[in-house]
Amino acid sequence: MREHVNDPYVKLAKQHGYRSRAAFKLEEINTRDHLLHPGMLVVDLGATPGGWSQIAAKVGAKVIALDLLEMDSIAGVTFIQGDFTGEAALTELKQVLAGRLPDLVISDMAPNMSGVASADQARSMHLCELALEFACHHLKPGGAFLVKTFQGEGFQEYVKLMRDQFAQVVTRKPRASRDRSSEVYLLGKSRLPNAGSGTGIGLE
């Protein structure tokens, strides 16, 4: 708690009116990689409290956000409350998309940590796999995918899965990401037009 209260990015988030310090992570990655553009369609997975959706909406993107937890409304953002690991939320998300293909899928999802490293890593990678599977089924050719991962078991295999789907896969460690954290962001650039609709993960 003391670390959180004294965190300079927490203080900056309050000054900028951002809902979380995570907003600065997407802001920095976007400055470097130019992911966000006015009028584009963005799907934000694991959106609550809304920091990433705020950044995307600020540049004029149309955002569809999803999270298990409730999120206060943001102008330009359509919010779906539901469990991304369940079929009901995915069905509603597809209905809101109404056949449109997003230009960008972003995922800052993370499980509630149990403190058991192996279990937490497995649950985290499962969420990453779900997000990638969604992107592979719905992202438009040439689109991009940004996902939070944690280095550990399954990480290198996941990178390989992403390389099968995107022309380029790069890692990003924004300044707002705490040094002691194994958190790292993977960015898939330019979804390959001839890539399969699945990833071999086994989800349909």
Question: 148, 160, 173, 189: which is the annotated catalytic residue?
Answer: 148
164 is in an annotated binding site: no
103 is in an annotated binding site: no
> Cα(27)–Cα(140) distance, rounded to whole angstroms?
23
108 is in an annotated binding site: yes
Q: How would you class 92 by CB atoms within 10 Å of its CB: exposed for 0-12, middle for 13-18, buried for 19 or more?
A: middle
Does the annotation mark 58 as catalytic? no
Q: What is the DSSP letter of 189?
A: E
Phi and psi at residue 17, in whole multiples of 5°?
Answer: 75, 20
Q: Show pLDDT as tens, one digit a residue, over the chain (204 residues).
A: 444 446 776 777 777 778 888 999 999 999 999 999 999 999 999 999 999 999 999 999 999 999 999 999 999 999 999 999 899 999 999 999 999 999 999 999 988 778 788 898 999 999 999 999 999 999 999 999 999 999 999 999 999 999 999 999 999 999 888 767 789 999 999 999 876 655 554 433
83 is in an annotated binding site: yes
List helix spans (H) across the chain.
Answer: 2-6, 8-16, 22-33, 51-58, 87-97, 117-138, 155-163
Give the predicted TM-score (pTM) of the model.
0.89
50 is in an annotated binding site: yes
Q: Can you list the domains of the chain with their CATH numbers?
A: 2-191 (3.40.50.150)
